[in-house]
Amino acid sequence: MAAQKKFHLAFSLIMGLLMISLMTFVITAVNIGFPADFLSRWCKAFAVAYTVGVPVIFFVAPLARKLTGRLLGVPA
């Protein structure tokens, strides 16, 4: 696997971990507060979101990079 592809895969996994952890925590807390089973509910939400989110990041990030480059008039 080429270095750039490895970088993009690692980026997608790490960005997914950081973003999805924070967002599922916040949304779970907003929706249910902090009951005794908060951790298990948050883990379930995280597992579903990470499974969906990482592939989305992997395939959408290059498009977002290109669109941002065009918007700002800089090479992506």
52 belongs to a structural domain: yes
Q: Is residue 33 part of a domain?
A: yes
Tell me if the pTM is above 0.85. no
Q: Which residues of 45-67 are buried (b: 16+ CB within 10 A; e: fewer)?
A: bbeebbeebbeebbeeeeeeeee
Q: Judge whether 13 and 54 are in contact, CB under 8 Å.
A: yes
**Is 55 domain-assigned?**
yes
Q: Please list the pLDDT of the chain residue by residue as tens digits (76 residues).
A: 799 889 999 999 999 999 999 999 999 999 999 999 999 999 999 999 999 999 999 999 999 999 999 999 998 6
Q: How far apart are CA 63 and CA 38, in angstroms?
A: 35
Q: How many domains does the chain have?
A: 1
pLDDT at 72: 94
Is position 28 within any domain?
yes
Assess if residue 11 is contained within a domain: no
Q: Looking at residue 48, what is its pLDDT?
A: 97
Instruction: Tell me, yes or no, whether 26 lies in a domain.
Output: yes
**pLDDT computed for residue 75 by the predictor:** 83
Residue 12 domain-assigned (yes or no): no
